[in-house]
């Protein structure tokens, strides 16, 4: 049966579309706190009906009655990726849960095995709130604006499940002709053609895809692709990529921060460059490698608690493995006052660890931008930094042939990049800057190659929180 024939679901959908998006603006800080406390208590109660949480909480001697609000979150143990993996499928849902109403979704699994969890229609409806809030924030019309999403639509990926179970059902009731989902694993020229026909207002994709699109746009392709906003989700972008893309399209390229476990965007970047967390949807913490909470503004591993939804609850979950620094509240010039992620420094598994003891999170290892900025050039079409061996770093540059002989020479740019990296990493590391024709996607990966990658296996547990970088 189509779940949208159920009046309760229809009512929830309407509430999610009409009322919830304005909550962060409407509620005063004190009211928002009350909202969080209430939502949190409800989620903990729900989690307690899920065998995995029940067992872990029981072992830790904590009961939902001990939780009066967010301040008591510290009483609850953390939940890891392995907890979810080991308890899938039966122990990550409430005992009485009818699995027919749930859908399995999975994480990408780039850093090992995927994590599988359950979502359902109500959760999916609620998960549309953060993005419609963002859309309104950018003065785009949620119903009329045209959205193109170039994503990963392999089986169990949240994008596909969302399309199959949610959009396909809602289509009959609400016009969603303004959404175009494109699989990232098709030729760039096909993507451009489809975008050109669709004329999107917003394009969401990976940094590399935006960069490739921007390159083609510069070459005169996709005349009708004139977006008002570009967004990047789940990857870091550096300032060069941002400028390169913004310059080509004449609009902003901003971050959103979604994850499969979160089910929606945890945060979004406003035009002031502030990453606003959706505080009615998530409670964020950050911990060091010994699982101690780090002070506000210090680098730590993100821990998320989902304050909405059903299916598999996510409470004090450490499995996202991103480095962040965050502040509990910030009044931003854009008009929003929310908790913010001050800096997002990428995946923990992608750290660059050198034998001289220096450690760089992948998000803090892009030093190419200042060089290209200094020479005021867009001739580098794409680049990638690869740690091949512990003390060997290759930097690959793809040059735009049309701009090769304009301004500073490629040789000079390459030498300057090498020089800058050498200063950062120290003299004992071999830096090689090479020109290549293209940057290939990693084998078996469904996502484009990240900007910074390490092929060196390092053990976990090194002290990055206190690294002076
Ligand atoms: Zn802001």
Judgement on whether residues 40 and 124 belong to the same structural domain of the protein: yes
Ligand 1 centroid–CA 325 distance in Å is: 16
Band (pLDDT 50/70/90 cuts) for residue 125 is: confident
Ligand 1 centroid–CA 341 distance in Å is: 11
Judgement on whether residues 48 and 172 belong to the same structural domain of the protein: yes
CATH code where residue 447 lies:
3.30.70
Ligand 1 centroid–CA 181 distance in Å is: 28
Judgement on whether residues 247 and 315 belong to the same structural domain of the protein: yes
Final residue before a domain boundary, out of 346, 381, 401: 346
> pTM of the full predicted structure?
0.82
Residue 378 within a domain: yes
Residue 20 within a domain: yes
pLDDT tens for 6-60 read 777 667 666 766 666 677 777 788 888 999 999 999 999 999 999 999 999 999 9
The pLDDT of residue 13 is: 67
Query: Which alpha helices (DSSP H) does 49-87 contain, by range?
Result: 51-59, 81-87
Ligand 1 centroid–CA 343 distance in Å is: 14
Ligand 1 centroid–CA 266 distance in Å is: 15
> What does the DSSP 8-state code read for residue 442?
P
Band (pLDDT 50/70/90 cuts) for residue 72 is: very high
Query: Which of 212, 210, 108, 93 lies closest to 160, judged by CA?
Result: 108
Final residue before a domain boundary, out of 311, 326, 346: 346
Ligand 1 centroid–CA 338 distance in Å is: 9
pLDDT tens for 126-160 read 888 888 889 888 988 877 889 999 987 666 666 67
Judgement on whether residues 143 and 258 belong to the same structural domain of the protein: yes
Dist CA 469 CA 452 (whole Å): 16
Rounded to a whole number of angstroms, the CA Rg of the chain reads 23
Final residue before a domain boundary, out of 327, 346, 365: 346
Buried b (16+ CB within 10 A) or exposed e, 211-250: bbbbbbbbeebbeebebbbbbbbbbbbbebbbbbbbebbe
Domain span at residue 363?
351-454
Ligand 1 centroid–CA 335 distance in Å is: 6
Ligand 1 centroid–CA 336 distance in Å is: 6
Ligand 1 centroid–CA 326 distance in Å is: 14
Judgement on whether residues 252 and 395 belong to the same structural domain of the protein: no
Ligand 1 centroid–CA 213 distance in Å is: 27
Ligand 1 centroid–CA 22 distance in Å is: 15
The pLDDT of residue 344 is: 85
Element (H, E) at 318: none
Dist CA 48 CA 57 (whole Å): 8
Dist CA 362 CA 251 (whole Å): 26
Is the Cβ–Cβ distance between 347 and 111 less than 8 Å? yes
Dist CA 454 CA 243 (whole Å): 25
pLDDT tens for 240-273 read 889 999 999 999 999 999 888 999 999 999 999 9
> Residue 10, by phi and psi: left (phi above 0), alpha (psi -120 to 50) or beta?
alpha
The pLDDT of residue 451 is: 83
Residue 297 within a domain: yes
Judgement on whether residues 335 and 370 belong to the same structural domain of the protein: no
Ligand 1 centroid–CA 271 distance in Å is: 7
Judgement on whether residues 393 and 450 belong to the same structural domain of the protein: yes
Ligand 1 centroid–CA 323 distance in Å is: 21
Ligand 1 centroid–CA 337 distance in Å is: 8
Ligand 1 centroid–CA 288 distance in Å is: 27
Residue 97 within a domain: yes
Structure tokens at 56: 């872990």
CATH code where residue 11 lies:
3.40.50.12780
Dist CA 97 CA 108 (whole Å): 25
Longest dimension (CA), the chain: 70
Ligand 1 centroid–CA 461 distance in Å is: 34
Q: Which residues contact 169 (CB under 8 A, 6 or more apart)?
A: 2, 3, 4, 121
Q: Which of 55-69, 277-291, 374-388, 402-416 has the lowest average pLDDT? A: 374-388
> What does the DSSP 8-state code read for residue 404?
T
Residue 410 within a domain: yes
Judgement on whether residues 69 and 155 belong to the same structural domain of the protein: yes
Coil, strand or helix at 58: helix
Total domains present in the chain? 2
Q: Which of 53-57, 217-221, 298-302, 365-369 has the lowest average pLDDT? A: 365-369
Q: Which residues contact 214 (CB under 8 A, 6 or more apart)?
A: 244, 245, 247, 248, 249
Judgement on whether residues 386 and 245 belong to the same structural domain of the protein: no
Ligand 1 centroid–CA 139 distance in Å is: 14
Ligand 1 centroid–CA 275 distance in Å is: 7
Dist CA 441 CA 352 (whole Å): 19
Dist CA 323 CA 235 (whole Å): 12
Judgement on whether residues 333 and 356 belong to the same structural domain of the protein: no
Residue 466 within a domain: no
Judgement on whether residues 278 and 363 belong to the same structural domain of the protein: no
Ligand 1 centroid–CA 329 distance in Å is: 11
Is the Cβ–Cβ distance between 377 and 408 less than 8 Å? yes
Ligand 1 centroid–CA 269 distance in Å is: 7
Residue 461 within a domain: no
Judgement on whether residues 293 and 373 belong to the same structural domain of the protein: no
Query: Where does residue 321 rank: exposed (0-12), middle (13-18), buried (19+ CB within 10 A)?
Result: middle
Residue 463 within a domain: no
Ligand 1 centroid–CA 270 distance in Å is: 5
Dist CA 31 CA 10 (whole Å): 27
Ligand 1 centroid–CA 328 distance in Å is: 14
């Amino acid at each position: 049966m189509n779940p949208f024939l159920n009046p309760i679901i229809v009512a929830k959908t309407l509430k999610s579309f009409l009322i919830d998006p304005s909550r962060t603006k409407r509620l005063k800080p004190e009211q928002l706190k009350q909202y969080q406390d209430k939502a949190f208590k409800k989620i903990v109660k729900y989690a307690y009906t899920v065998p995995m949480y029940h067992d872990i909480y029981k072992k830790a001697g904590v009961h939902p009655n001990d939780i009066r609000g967010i301040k008591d979150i510290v009483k609850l143990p953390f939940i890891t990726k392995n907890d979810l993996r080991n308890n899938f499928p039966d122990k990550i849902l409430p005992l009485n849960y009818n699995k027919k109403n749930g859908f399995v979704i999975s994480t990408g699994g780039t850093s090992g095995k995927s994590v599988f969890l359950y979502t359902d229609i109500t959760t999916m409806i609620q998960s549309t709130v953060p993005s419609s809030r963002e859309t309104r924030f950018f003065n785009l019309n949620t119903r009329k604006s045209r959205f193109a999403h170039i994503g990963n639509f392999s089986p169990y990926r949240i994008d596909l499940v969302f399309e199959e179970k949610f959009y396909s059902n809602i289509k009959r009731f609400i016009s969603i002709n303004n959404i175009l989902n494109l699989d990232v694993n098709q030729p760039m020229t096909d993507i451009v053609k489809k975008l050109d026909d669709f004329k999107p207002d917003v394009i969401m994709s990976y940094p590399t895809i935006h960069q490739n699109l921007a390159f083609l746009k510069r070459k005169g392709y996709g005349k009708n692709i004139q977006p008002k906003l570009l967004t990047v989700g789940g990857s870091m972008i550096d300032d060069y990529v941002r400028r390169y893309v913004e310059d080509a399209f004449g609009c902003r390229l901003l971050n959103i921060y979604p994850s499969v476990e979160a089910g929606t965007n945890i945060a979004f970047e406003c035009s002031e460059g502030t990453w606003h967390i959706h505080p009615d949807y998530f409670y964020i913490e950050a911990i060091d490698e010994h699982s101690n909470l780090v002070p506000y503004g210090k680098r730590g591993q993100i821990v998320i608690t989902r304050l909405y939804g059903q299916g598999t609850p996510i409470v004090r979950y450490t499995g996202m493995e991103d480095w962040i620094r965050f502040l509990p509240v910030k009044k931003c010039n854009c008009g929003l006052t929310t908790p913010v992620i001050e800096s997002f420094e990428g995946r923990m598994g992608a750290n660059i660890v050198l034998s001289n003891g220096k450690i760089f999170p992948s998000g803090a290892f892009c030093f190419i931008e200042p060089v290209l900025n200094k020479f005021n050039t867009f001739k580098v079409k794409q680049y990638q930094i690869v740690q091949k061996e512990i003390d060997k770093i290759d930097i690959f540059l793809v040059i735009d042939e049309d701009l090769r002989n304009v301004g500073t020479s490629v040789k000079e740019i390459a030498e300057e990049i090498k020089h800058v990296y050498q200063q950062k990493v120290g003299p004992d590391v071999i830096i090689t800057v090479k020109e290549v024709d293209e940057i290939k996607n990693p084998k078996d990966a469904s996502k484009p190659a990240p900007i910074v990658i390490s092929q060196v296996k390092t053990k976990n547990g090194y002290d990055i929180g206190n690294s002076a970088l």
